[in-house]
Amino acid sequence: MKKRMLSGIKPSGQLHIGNYIGALNNFVKYQEDYEMIVFIANLHCITIYQDPKELQKNLTDAIALYLAVGLDPNKSTIFLQSDVMEHAQLGFILQCNSYLGELNRMTQYKDKVAKGEQNLTVGLYTYPDLMAADILIYGANYVPVGVDQKQHVELARDIAIRMNNKYEKELFVIPAPLIEKVGSKIYSLQDPTSKMSKSDKGEKGLIYLLDDPKKARKKIMGAVTDSINKVQYDPQNQPGISNLLVIAASLSDRSIDEVLEDVQEMQYGQFKGYVADIVVKKLETIQQRYHEIIESGIITKVLTEGAQKASKMANQRLKRVQHAIGLEIEKTND
């Protein structure tokens, strides 16, 4: 039997090439060999305030982009997190089986506290428990994520082991994070030591999948590099150039060494042009599919069918968990 793999994306902004290289592109590959479950983590989005109209647009775009990059609803189960109510319910149960000390250590929350951000919501704090529920409710064996999410998958693993010991031996499948060697962290074009992220202040550091290709080319041409003037893979001393190499390799399905064969003699300007060509070609292909999908009206059908399939699986596990922890009263027919 195929192993089960699950992942979610939280489109609280537009998806960018970091999401594509670190997540989406891998899902497409994995769906051939695994039973793939992918969803849009819309509940996770609202842990920080979202403008309702903008959120709706981002969710639609995210689904359309999932399909545009090649996720196939006949091979993968694709749905919206909030359409499967069981996630939130198991999430609460898991909150009751995790500790303040654990959640205090979760970097996403910890970083925001350290930065002195005000009015953080309780949802942001318990976010990792909901994520653990997303994973455990489907009995996923593997969870492909970028390095930043590894800690959350490990929490899911810890809770699963804890509850298996406490309640029932094989209540939960123990999940493992799956992190790709290349591309699991794409860096900002403007600050190549920090992650390319939709929370980036400026727009120049990241390339959205729906960016105008001309604008994307400009962003690559303006990427921060160094004064060493040699194109080589050296993330320590040349983070900007190394990041561009990873982007070029990932988007053209080649290894960094293969790309280096083409580019190692180039000046930086020429090298950036080479990377920009690859990025633009990729964006054009994705955007053409994206427009076809939006116009086809297929999204509602995919989401409805996906949620039906997912709910069935989720409900079975939730019932079993509720039974194991003593929440359910045996019902008789009379």
Which CB atom, from 9 or from 171, has the smaller least distance to ligand AMP? 9
Report yes or no: 5 and 140 within 8 Å, Cβ to Cβ: yes
List, by residue number, the catalytic residues.
112, 195, 198
For residue 134, the partner it binds in ligand AMP, ligand TRP, none, with Cβ less than 5 to 8 A by kind, is: ligand TRP
Question: Is 131 or 160 the residue whose CB approaches ligand TRP more closely?
Answer: 131
Indicate if the alpha-carbon torsion angle 271, 275, 278, 284 is positive or negative. negative
- Residue closer to ligand TRP by CB (options 23, 276) is 23
Q: d(Cα 223, Cα 260) in Å, to the nearest integer? A: 18
Output the smallest distance, CB 72 to ligand AMP, in A: 19
Q: Which does 190 bind (CB under 5 to 8 A by kind): ligand AMP, ligand TRP, none?
A: none
CB-hemisphere CA count at 13 Å for 179? 13
Residues 19-38 that bind ligand AMP (CB under 6 A): 19, 21-23
**CA–centroid distance for 98 within its chain:** 23
Interface residue list for ligand TRP (CB under 6 A): 6-10, 41, 44, 131, 134-135, 143, 145, 149, 152
Is 9 near ligand AMP (CB under 6 A)?
A: yes
φ, ψ for residue 45, nearest 5 deg = -60, -40
Per partner kind, with CB cut-offs from 5 to 8 A, the member of ligand TRP, ligand AMP, none near residue 19 is ligand AMP
C-alpha–C-alpha distance, residues 160 and 158, integer Å? 5
Closest contact distance (angstroms) between CB of 134 and ligand TRP is: 4
Tell the smallest beta-carbon distance from residue 77 to ligand TRP (Å): 13
For residues 73 and 302, the answer to whether their CB atoms sit within 8 Å is yes
Q: Give the contacts of 183 (CB within 8 A, at least 6 positions apart).
A: 21, 22, 25, 246, 249, 250
Structure tokens at 258: 């293969």
Q: Which does 185 bind (CB under 5 to 8 A by kind): ligand AMP, ligand TRP, none?
A: ligand AMP
Question: What does the radius of gyration of the chain's CA atoms come to, in whole angstroms?
Answer: 21
124, interface contact from ligand AMP, ligand TRP, none, CB < 5-8 Å by kind? none
Q: What are phi and psi of 90, to 5 degrees?
A: -65, -35
Copy the structure tokens of residue 324: 């194991």
State the minimum distance, in angstroms, from the CB of residue 23 to ligand TRP: 7
Which of the residues 64 through 123 are near ligand AMP (CB under 6 A)? none
- Nearest one of 126, 178, 179, 134 to 160, comparing CA atoms: 134
**In this chain, which of 87, 152, 157, 195 binds ligand AMP, going by CB under 6 A?**
195
List residues binding ligand AMP (CB under 6 A): 9-10, 18-19, 21-23, 145-146, 148-149, 184-186, 195-197
